[in-house]
Amino acid sequence: MNIKSIQVLSYTVPLKEPVEAYAAGLMTGFGMVIVIITDENGNIGQGYTTMHSKQELAIARIIEDTYKPILINSDSSRIEYLWKQMWKQSHYAGRGGPVSFAIAAVDAALWDLLGKRLKQPLWKILGGYSPNVKVYAGNIDLNFPIAKILENATKNIEEGYKAIKMRLGRSTLKEDIERVEAVRNHIGDEIELMADANEAWRVDQALKASNELSNFNLTWLEEPITPDDYKGYAYLKNNGKTPIAAGENLHTLQEFQLLFHYNGVDFPEPDYTTCGGFTPFMKIAKLAEANNLPVMSHGAHDVHIQLLAACPNAAYMEVHAFGIEEYISHPLQIKEGYGLVSDLSGIGFEFNFDKLKQYKTN
């Protein structure tokens, strides 16, 4: 079924309150690009990608100028072929980075279109492993006082979460440890706790943190160092006392291959919005499986549930603070620590464009 038209929409979506993570600093909103693909029979597929604010226009422009001419009148069901064509067309200024974000939005819309046309949810088309995926609350709270973090943890537990993540990277490790200790004491041993340093440390600092944090039974320590220091990750995984999570800042299948090759991660966390869409995400999930590793996700939980529900090695899904639940028809449902996948066709929800239009930037 050939593609008749493509619409590219960009937004800056405000957050309810400013939140801080070490690598990004203080954030008041996030950028979002939605791609709407219509085929010649009138079937519609929608996909989106998110990024830090003020970058959505550049990413929308890549899709408009570079990918639209390739896609119009092409067969929408040849997703692997179209992915390759987009990659090829932008490879010199690409091979990851903004190009991976741009391809992701198109790829997601192509998969949604396929699901809508087949009248099947994507999780079944992609493998159909389990309709329930274990979730955790991916709080962004580096700027919050301890009292507020504890209050939010209580709210998370009331909402049905059995696992909670907090941020690290305050000015001293002592302060980070005090915050982790306060949260662990508050939630008890039954609730899982993860900590995300968002690239805050050098390798030597990260090793010290990994060992001191082992007193608090963390499920993982996430991105303690810069994302592409694969040997550094291997050193920390092999010498530290806390399991390692990473992957949200890797933008290609090959970067994950390197991370696995160096044995640098316990919990790989690809993000379809940063690694080029559902097509490479599923390959990364299978590459993890072949390396006897689980697969997680970062961000975009309303969509990632469709991908992780297809994977036998899915372990945890992050429910991220950049939520779009207010702007979609069927937000993620959480029950007793699990996210429940939607059985509606494609990605399982529709955007509310009336509600989004106030934040439009193109």
* String of contacts with Mg ion for each residue 204-233, x by CB under 5 A: ------------------x-----------
The region of 7-15, 120-128, 190-198, 254-262 touching Mg ion under the rule CB under 5 A is 190-198
Of the two residues 222 and 255, which places its CB atom closer to Mg ion in the complex? 222
Q: Which is nearer to Mg ion, 176 or 222 (CB)?
A: 222
Using CB positions, name the residue nearest to Mg ion.
Answer: 196
Q: CB nearer to Mg ion: give 30 or 349.
A: 30
By the rule CB under 5 A, 318 interacts with Mg ion: no
Query: How far apart (Å, rounded) are the C-alpha atoms in residues 147 and 152?
Result: 9
- Secondary structure (DSSP) of 287-340: HHHHTT--EEE-S-HHHHHHHHTT-TTEEEEEEESS--GGGBSSPPEEETTEEE
The residue among 106 and 245 lying less far from Mg ion, judged by its C-beta, is: 245
Task: Output 124 or 320, the one with its CB closest to Mg ion.
Answer: 320
Minimal distance, residue 51 CB to Mg ion, in Å: 14
56 scored as a contact of Mg ion (CB under 5 A) = no
- Can you say whether the dihedral through the CA atoms of 286, 129, 136, 122 is positive or negative? positive
Rounded Cα gap, residues 346 and 313, in angstroms: 22
Question: Contact between 196 and Mg ion (CB under 5 A)?
Answer: yes
Q: What is the dihedral of CA 192, 193, 198, 200, to 10 degrees?
A: -150
Query: Per-residue DSSP letters for 93-141?
Result: T-SSHHHHHHHHHHHHHHHHHHHHHHT-BHHHHTT---SEEEEEEE---
Shortest CB 237 distance to Mg ion, Å: 16
Residue 199, SS3?
coil
**Residue linked to tokens 């990024």:** 51
Smallest separation, CB 100 to Mg ion (Å): 17
CB of 271 to Mg ion, least distance (A): 9
Q: Measured from the CB atom, is 56 or 222 closer to Mg ion?
A: 222
Contact status, residue 324 vs residue 303, Cβ threshold 8 Å: no
Q: Which stretch binds Mg ion (CB under 5 A): 61-69, 76-84, 153-161, 194-202?
A: 194-202
Residues in contact with Mg ion by the rule CB under 5 A = 196, 222
